[in-house]
């Protein structure tokens, strides 16, 4: 898995924003890491969070603990824990979330369930995040292109 998507290259070297791979891990381990928290971490700590695995139950717990330690050390606070979804939308191969369909339709792109199922869970996660109304959506089309959907 590449650590950065092409649409993230403008901040990849500085890690000034939270990369999608880290955001994916945050959802997997149930931690609400704010950009404010991220910006207080050292470059080495950000790199550790980018490089550390978060797939198995043990890795997920270790990742959550590491996040808490890093933020606590810099800000004397702990990031909020969030419930971990047992069946997140990005894990469902058969149903394209409405936000993704709507954002695609607004760009003249109608995704099929076959295309959706052909994506990795990280790619599905990215499209969901980039399609939410709380997001500026500027990278949705570049992500579609990068994932060879247009």
Segment 17-51, tens digit of pLDDT: 899 999 999 999 999 999 999 999 999 999 999 99
Q: Mean pLDDT throughout 108-137?
A: 91
Cβ atoms within 10 Å of 36's Cβ, excluding its own: 10
Q: For residue 1, what pLDDT is reported?
A: 44
pLDDT > 70 fraction of the chain, expressed in percent and rounded: 97
Answer whether residue 136 shows pLDDT above 80: no
Residues 63, 120, single domain; the answer is: no
Q: Count structural domains, the chain.
A: 2
Whether 1 is in a domain gets the answer no
- What six digits make up the tokens of 67? 């996040």
Q: Are 111 and 101 in contact (CB under 8 A)?
A: yes
Distances (CA, A) of 115 to 1, 24, 51, 109, 148: 19, 20, 28, 12, 9
Residues 76, 94, single domain; the answer is: no
Q: Which domain holds residue 46?
A: 6-81
Answer whether residue 134 shows pLDDT above 70: no
Predicted TM-score (pTM) of this structure: 0.91
């Amino acid at each position: 898995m590449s650590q950065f998507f092409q649409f993230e290259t403008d901040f990849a070297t500085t890690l000034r924003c939270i990369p999608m791979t880290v955001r994916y891990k945050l959802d997997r381990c149930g931690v609400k890491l704010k950009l404010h928290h991220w910006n207080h971490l050292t470059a080495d700590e950000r790199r550790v969070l980018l490089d550390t695995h978060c797939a198995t139950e043990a890795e997920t717990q270790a990742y959550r603990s590491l996040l808490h330690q890093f933020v606590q050390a810099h800000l004397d606070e702990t990031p909020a824990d969030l419930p971990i979804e047992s069946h997140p939308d990005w894990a469902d191969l058969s149903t394209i979330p409405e936000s993704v369909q709507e954002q695609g339709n607004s760009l003249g792109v109608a995704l099929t369930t076959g295309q959706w199922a052909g994506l990795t869970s990280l790619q599905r996660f990215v499209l969901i995040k980039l399609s939410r109304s709380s997001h500026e959506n500027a990278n949705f089309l570049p992500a579609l292109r990068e994932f060879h959907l247009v």
